[in-house]
Structure formats: structure tokens, C-alpha cells
Amino acid sequence: MSDEQLVRPAQVSGFPEWLPEVRLVELRWLDEIRQGFERYGFCSVETPSVEALEVLLAKGETSQEVYTLRRLQAEAADDGDARLGLHFDLTVPFARYVAAHFNDLVFPLKRYQMQRVWRGERPQEGRYREFTQCDIDVINVDHVPLHFDAELPRIIHEILTGLNIPAWSININNRKVLQGFYSGLGIDDPLGVIRIADKIDKVGAAGVEKLLATRTALTPAQIRSCLDLAHIRGVDAGVTADIRRLGVTSDLLTEGLDELSFVLDELSDLPAGSVVADLSIARGLDYYTGTVYEGKFLDWPDYGSICSGGRYADLAGSFIRRHLPGIGMSIGLTRIFAKLVAEGRLSTGPSCPSDILVVIPSDARRAQAQATAAALRSRGYNVEVYHQADKLGKQIRYASRKGVPFVWFPPFEDGKPHEVKDMAGGEQVTADPATWRRP
């Protein structure tokens, strides 16, 4: 402690952090997501937080969101570090990684990557400047079988179900259906229409109609057909019949409908409504070429997507002359987690991982308390020893405040037995540290 001016210990906005009891839940989520990926054999990849700026900007897309680095003491003329930036997603670093290590990797490569990413955006609800993404992708040289288009949402479905979050659905579409439909309508620039159609979430059907009328050369009849398509939703292959009924045909449309049917069929064992075909979904990014995904909370339809992804023709074309198509999905961990915290929908429990707090009967008996704790730890329990021989009530209160479920009492006199108290039920029984089992 000094008399100097204090520095305000403020958090920086857009950079979330949690109290220990909330962090403990986040950690459980991270474990469950990882286990969900590993259950299907996906391997872990981590890349540095930092990439060369030319790598981050290889596609030139999200340039204005990039944070660049500079050493505090750098000379003005020394811009060496200014050529480094924090990654803004996990796809660009993964593409660079695959190109850099191409000869040392086994394909098809199934990888997961759970890391923080950074974007120099103005923070708002659901948008952070630092957040954690959990990505899975399957990439292969030249060809990735269609069945992965179903396996990926199945994995994400299992994980989100396990997290027990408020109601959600994974919405599916296929870019070939959109492009094939638009081509079949005689539209010259299907990608341009997709980019406008993608705004339906924000501006509604009427807004999209107006944009198409003012920014494209589409006829009113073409616009009407586009909107008819965007209104189609369904939980099974019946949606493809609805689409065909609109009377538009093209080879690409047929291919897209076959793929969409296949994916819906493969996922038909999942609970009704958890995977929904939604023809309004476009996913703005130009690189998606087939199946696209977008997960949403049902009760918060205006909130950003909680997971998303799709199939792409080529992952690493900016870095290596190999054709590496793939398919990927990403869980927006921070976006989901922070929303639940903000809505008061996250149940928290203890603030520490301890199963047991061992009390210290007296200074003379600290060694015995430590030996008791060691015995319990060797049997797999997480055990704290209270830090000093305070009054018993104070020691128990400490366990209670931290949510430690069991308090252990070593003998207070020679010849007496150990006892353990179940903090939830309140009962206290004799016990042996060598044999006790958590009920």
C-alpha cells in the first residue's frame, strides 16, 4: 500500500471476464465442446494469436477490424512489428497452418480449434473485441464427401444439447439451391442477389424486395420468385418439393436440392425442429459453395448467430497451389455464454473445484489435517485444507461461501474418528479418508 494515486482497475469494454463461479461453468462448457469434437476423432490445432499482416489480409476482406501490434518503445521509423496483427477468425490462421505444414499432415484433416480471436469493433450486445470461437473443419485434397455436411451439424447438435442452453435451432440451406434457382430464373449475377438476400435478417422481406428493385436489374416477377424461395422453411425433405413447385429449373438447382435432401435425410433422427431447412439463409461470405449453416436462439431471433459455417471450394488457395475443399462450423462460445450471463439464465454453483474442505482443529493438528487431505487427494478428490486454526464456525462458513460440498473434520482428540459433513443436506457422519466415497 502506498499513498500514490491509484490506477483505476477498470475492465476494458468489449473484453469480457468472469467471476470464478462463472468461469467454472465456462470451463465446463469448454471441456464439453472439446469432448464433443474429440468424440468424432477431430484433432486439436492451435495457432499463434498473431499472424503477418499479409497473411491476415491475403483475401483483403475484414481489413478494418484487424488489431495490429506495435512495441510500446518502438522507434517511429521501425515498423517491423506493425506488420503483425491479431487474428480476427480461426479460418485464415488454419489455412496458413495447413499450407505451412502440408507435407506433415494426414488428409482428410479433421481439426478443431478453440481460441480467442480479436476484432477492433465497437462493442455492442453479442459483439466483443475479444471472444472465443470453437471451430471444426474437415478438409481434404480435391474432395470432401457429402456425408460430412450432415456429420458436422450432428456434432454441433450433440454439443449444444449437452450444454442445455435455451431453445435454439440449426438452420440449413445450400448455396447451390440459391444460385441454381437464381440462374434458372435467368438472373445474371446470382452472387450479387445472394449478398442482398443475406440481409433479410436485418431489413426483412420488404427491405430485401426494395434493395433488389433498386440495386439490381431484376424484373418484378424475378423478385417475387426470389422472395417466394426465401419464405420456404421445413424440417424434412418436403421442403425440396415446395421449392420444385415454384417451377424454376437448372442443373445446379437440381444438384443443390439433392444435397439438401441428403443432409436433411441423414439428420432425420434428431429431435424435430432442431435442424431446419431455411431458404432465407445465404451467409454473406462469397467463399461458401454448398451447404450453409446458421444457428439461432429461438427466443432471441434478433440476436446474432450462435453457430455458423458451410462448405467451401478451397481453403488455402492464397497460400498453396493445392485444391483443398472443406466444410466447417464454428460455435460462438462467448456470444452464447455472455448472452446467458446477461439474461440471468446461467446457473452457477461453487466458485472453486474443491470437493472437500478439511478443517484445522488446532495448530497442533495441522499436520494431521494435511495428511488427511493428501489421503483424499490420492483417491481422486480435489481437497483444500483451511488455512489456519480459526473457530470452527468460520472454517465452515468459508466452505459455504465457496460452495464446497463437503467439510471434513479430522479427529479433535486422539482416538476419535474422522467425520464428514454434507453441506447440502447438513448430515454429519463418521468416515475414513482411506475408504470414504462421495455419496
Site for its own copies in 9-28 (CB under 8 A): 9-12, 15-20, 23-24, 26-27
The reply to whether 144 sits near its own copies by the rule CB under 8 A is yes
**CB burial readout 308-327, b (16+ within 10 A) else e:** bbbbbebbbbbbbeeebbbb
C-alpha dist (Å) from residue 267 to 18, 71, 160, 169, 258: 36, 51, 15, 13, 14
The reply to whether 402 sits near its own copies by the rule CB under 8 A is yes
Give the residue among 250, 246, 199 at the shortest CA–CA distance from 226.
Answer: 246
Interface with its own copies in residues 78-97 (CB under 8 A): 81-82, 84-86, 95-97
Interface with its own copies in residues 33-72 (CB under 8 A): 38-55, 58, 63-72
Interface with its own copies in residues 300-319 (CB under 8 A): 314, 316-319
Q: Cis ω on the peptide bond leading into residue 108 (within 30° of 0)?
A: yes
Q: What are phi and psi of 340, to 5 degrees?
A: -65, -40
Q: At what angle do helices 148-163 and 251-266 cross, to 10 degrees?
A: 40
The reply to whether 76 sits near its own copies by the rule CB under 8 A is no
Which of 33, 99, 177, 243 is close enough to bind its own copies by CB under 8 A? 99
Measured from the CB atom, is 127 or 377 closer to its own copies?
Answer: 377
Smallest separation, CB 398 to its own copies (Å)? 7
Element at 163 (helix H, strand E): helix 148-163
Measured from the CB atom, is 147 or 244 closer to its own copies?
Answer: 147
Q: What's the start-to-end Cα distance of the chain, in Å? A: 46
DSSP string computed for 226-245:
HHHHHT-EESSTHHHHHHHT
The reply to whether 285 sits near its own copies by the rule CB under 8 A is no
The reply to whether 438 sits near its own copies by the rule CB under 8 A is no
Smallest separation, CB 361 to its own copies (Å)? 15
Measured from the CB atom, is 148 or 181 closer to its own copies?
Answer: 148
In the shown chain, the binding pattern of residues 322 to 361 toward its own copies, with x for contact by CB under 8 A and - for none, equals: xx---------------------------xxxx--x----
Interface with its own copies in residues 224-243 (CB under 8 A): none
